[in-house]
A = this chain, B = another copy of it.
Amino acid sequence: MQKGILFILSGFAGSGKGTIVKELLKRYDNYALSVSATTRAPRPGERDGREYFFKTKEEFEAMISADELLEHAQYVGNYYGTPKKYVEEVLNSGKDVILEIEQQGGFQIKEKCPDALLVFVMPPSVKEIYNRLKKRGTEDEETIMKRMKQGSKEAEVIAGYDYLIINDDLDKCVENIHATVQCAKFATGRNADLINDVITGFGDFLKGNV
C-alpha cells in the first residue's frame, strides 16, 4: 500500500482554511486531521483535542525539548506545533494527513519531509481577505490590520509552496484541492516501488519466467 500524503494547507487569515478542512473530511474518506498543539486561547466553540490541543507556554516548551513535535512556530505571539507520532502512524496506514498550519511550520515540515505537499489557499483578492476578517467578527480592527500586515509578509513566500489554489467558490476550491492531493499520488517520486516492479517484471518476461 502506498503511504498517505502529508498535506499541508496554509492560507491568509480569512482564507477559509477551516471550512475547507471540514469539507474535505466530510466529503472524502481518505483524510485524517492532524490536531495541532497551541498556546493561543480557545475561541468560542473550540474544544481541546478537536480544533487544537491547548497548552500552556510551559507545557509547549516541554514538548519542544522532548522532540515530540514535527514542527513548531510562533505566530501573533503564540506557539503552534504538530505532534509527530500521530502523523507518522496515520501516513503509514495509507491515509492522507491534513495539517492546517501557517507558513513557518509548513516550511519546517517541507525541510524535514520533502514529500509533504504544500498547498496555499487564498481568497480571490486582497480586499476580500479584509472583508472576510471583518465579517467573521471575532477580532477588533487593530488585530485585523495586524493580520493584514502578517498576510503581506506571507504573500512574499507563497512561491515556496507547491500549489496555490483560489477559494472563490467553496465547492470548486474543495474539489480542486482534493484532486491536487490525489494526483500527487501519481508522481513518480512517490512510486519507486512500482517502478522497480516494472523493471523486474520486464527482466523476468524476457528471461521467459512469465
Tell me which residues across on chain B come within 8 A of A204, comparing CB atoms.
126
Interface of A is mostly: helix
- Known A126-B210, A201-B126, A205-B126; judge A195-B152 contact (CB<8 A): no
Copies in the complex: 2
- B-chain residues with CB within 8 Å of residue A179 when the two chains form the complex: 179, 182-183
CB of A64, distance to nearest CB on chain B (Å): 30
Cross-chain contact of A195 among B119, B164, B192 (Cβ < 8 A): B164
Q: Give A138 Cβ to nearest chain B Cβ, in Å.
A: 20
Q: 1/0 per position for A109-122, CB-CB distance to B under 8 A?
A: 00000000001101
| CB-CB nearest in chain B for A210 | B127
- Pairwise interchain contact B164-A206, C-beta atoms closer than 8 A: no
